Amino acid sequence: MSNLVLTPDARASLEVLYTRRTPSSARAMERARRYMVRGLTRGWGYHRPYPIVAERGEGPYLIDLDENRYVDLANNGLSLIHGHAFPPVVAALQAALPRGSGWLVPSEEQIEFARVLCERIEIFERVRFTNSGTESGMLAMKIARTFTSRHAILKAVDGFHGSYDDLEVGLYDRPEIPGRAYLAPFGDAEAFERRLAEHGSEIAAVVLEPLMFSGLVTTAPPGFLQRVQEAAHRAGALFVLDDCLMLRLAYGGSAERYGLRPDLTFLGKFIGGGMPMGVVGGSAEIMDVLDPHRADPLYHGGSFNGNLLSSVAGRVSLEHFTAETIIAMDERAAGLRAALESEAAALGLPLTIVGDGSVMGVYVTDALERHDGNTFSAGEATQLLHLAALTRGVLMGPGGEIALSSATAGSALDEAHEGLLQALGDVARLTT
Q: Are residues 125 and 272 in the same domain?
A: yes
Digit-coded pLDDT (tens) for 391-413:
999 999 999 999 999 999 999 99
Task: Examine the domain organization and report whether 64 and 98 are in the same domain.
Answer: no
Range of the domain at 406: 10-85+323-429
Q: Confidence band (pLDDT; 50, 70, 90) for 3?
A: low
Q: Which of 272, 303, 319 is the last residue of a domain?
A: 319
Which of 300, 319, 338 is the last residue before a domain boundary?
319
pLDDT digits (tens, 9 = 90+) for 61-74: 999 999 999 999 99
If asked whether residues 133 and 219 sit together in one domain, one would say yes
**What's the pLDDT score for residue 419?**
98
Give residue 4's pLDDT: 86
Residue 5: inside a domain: no
pLDDT for the residue 396: 98
CB 125 within 8 A of CB 282: yes
| End-to-end Cα separation, the chain, in angstroms | 10
pLDDT score at 373: 47
Is residue 195, in this structure, part of any structural domain at all? yes
- CATH code, domain with 272: 3.40.640.10
Same domain as 170, residue 261: yes
In a domain, 384, yes or no: yes
Quickly list H helices, 292-322: 308-319
Sheet holding 359-363: strands in order across?
352-356, 359-363, 401-403
Tell me what pLDDT residue 372 has.
53
Percent of the chain with pLDDT over 90: 94
Task: List the one residue out of 129, 154, 150 whose CA is nearest residue 139.
Answer: 129
pLDDT band at 173 (very low <50, low <70, confident <90, very high): confident
- 294 and 145, same structural domain? yes
pTM as predicted: 0.96
How many whole angstroms separate alpha carbon 311 and alpha carbon 150?
Answer: 33
Long-range contacts of the stretch 13-20 (C-beta < 8 A, 24+): 13/430, 14/384, 14/387, 14/388, 14/391, 14/426, 14/430, 15/48, 15/49, 15/387, 17/391, 18/49, 18/387, 18/390, 18/391, 19/49
Residues contacting 123, CB < 8 A, separation 6+ = 255, 261, 262, 263, 264, 265, 281, 282, 283
Q: Which helix (H) or strand (E) holds 35?
A: helix 23-35
Q: Are residues 109 and 158 in the same domain?
A: yes
Four-point Cα dihedral 251, 189, 219, 317, nearest 10: 30
The pair phi, psi for residue 55, each rounded to 5°, is: -105, -35
402, 73 contact by CB (below 8 A)? yes
**Rounded to an integer, what distance in angstroms lies between the CA atom of residue 184 and that of residue 370?**
15
Q: Is the pLDDT of residue 100 over 70?
A: yes
Same domain, 244 and 176: yes
d(CA 84, CA 63) in angstroms, rounded, equals 11
Q: Do residues 79 and 92 both lie within one domain?
A: no
- Which CATH number goes with the domain that contains 393? 3.90.1150.10
The verdict on 103 and 210 lying in the same domain is yes
Reported as a single tens digit per residue, the pLDDT across 308-350 is 999 999 999 999 999 999 999 999 999 999 999 999 999 999 9
- Backbone φ and ψ for 387, nearest 5 degrees, come out as -70, -40
Out of 119-123, 130-134, 367-371, 425-429, pick the least confident: 367-371
Work out how many domains the chain is built from and give that number. Answer: 2
Average pLDDT across the chain, whole number: 96
Identify the band that residue 1 occupies on the pLDDT scale cut at 50, 70 and 90: very low
User: What's the pLDDT score for residue 43?
Assistant: 85
List, for residues 40-69, the tens digit of each pLDDT value. Answer: 999 888 999 999 999 999 999 999 999 999
- pLDDT tens string 341-398: 999 999 999 999 999 999 999 999 988 865 554 455 668 999 999 999 999 999 999 9
DSSP bridge partners of 219: 211
In sequence order, what E strands does 176-326 have?
A: 181-184, 203-208, 211-212, 218-219, 238-242, 264-267, 278-282
